[in-house]
Amino acid sequence: MKIALIAHDRMKEEIVQLALAYEAILSEHELFATGTTGQRIMDATSLTLKRCLSGPLGGDQQIGAMIAQNEMDLIIFLRDPLTAQPHEPDIIALLRLCDVHKIPFATNLGTAEILLRALERGELDWREIVHEENER
């Protein structure tokens, strides 16, 4: 599975802690992240991530393009609900794309943990069927 890990500035420590706690699960998948978030996760774990640009510079849109091409299976985007984000339209577009393409999307730690546990149990294997149908 292809998983994107994204976090607003005030949530970066939380996503690093999430990656540390679920490193064994995440290590079995292809990981992507926006710039700084990806670097922070790689510095704290043994995980390898493909880094996009930082969110405000277009990293969200790069991940959105992968979603639109059915090249992403799970998005964990720890958003800061208390701080206005200048690139909020990009974030809303990302969420909309996930809804259109039926891609699980977590915006907080609780939902992220539930999705990672579901991934571990094979409950997101239906995404493989989606890939097969799109290849036809």
pLDDT by 10s per residue, the chain, length 136: 999 999 999 999 999 999 999 999 999 999 999 999 999 999 999 999 999 998 878 888 899 999 999 899 999 999 987 877 766 777 888 999 999 999 999 999 999 999 999 999 999 998 988 777 776 6
Tell me how far the alpha carbon of residue 7 is from its chain's centroid: 9
Is 58 annotated to bind a ligand? Reply is no
What integer pLDDT is reported at residue 104 of this predicted model? 97
What integer pLDDT is reported at residue 11 of this predicted model? 95
Q: Annotated catalytic sites, by residue?
A: 60
Instruction: Please state the pTM of the whole predicted model.
Output: 0.93
What residues contact residue 27 under an 8 Å CB cut-off, 6+ apart?
46, 47
Is 2 annotated to bind a ligand? Reply is no
Backbone angles phi and psi of 74, in degrees to 5: -155, 135
Q: What are the structural domains of the chain? A: 2-135 (3.40.50.1380)
CA proximity to 1, closest of 100, 129, 135, 114: 129
Is 36 annotated to bind a ligand? Reply is yes
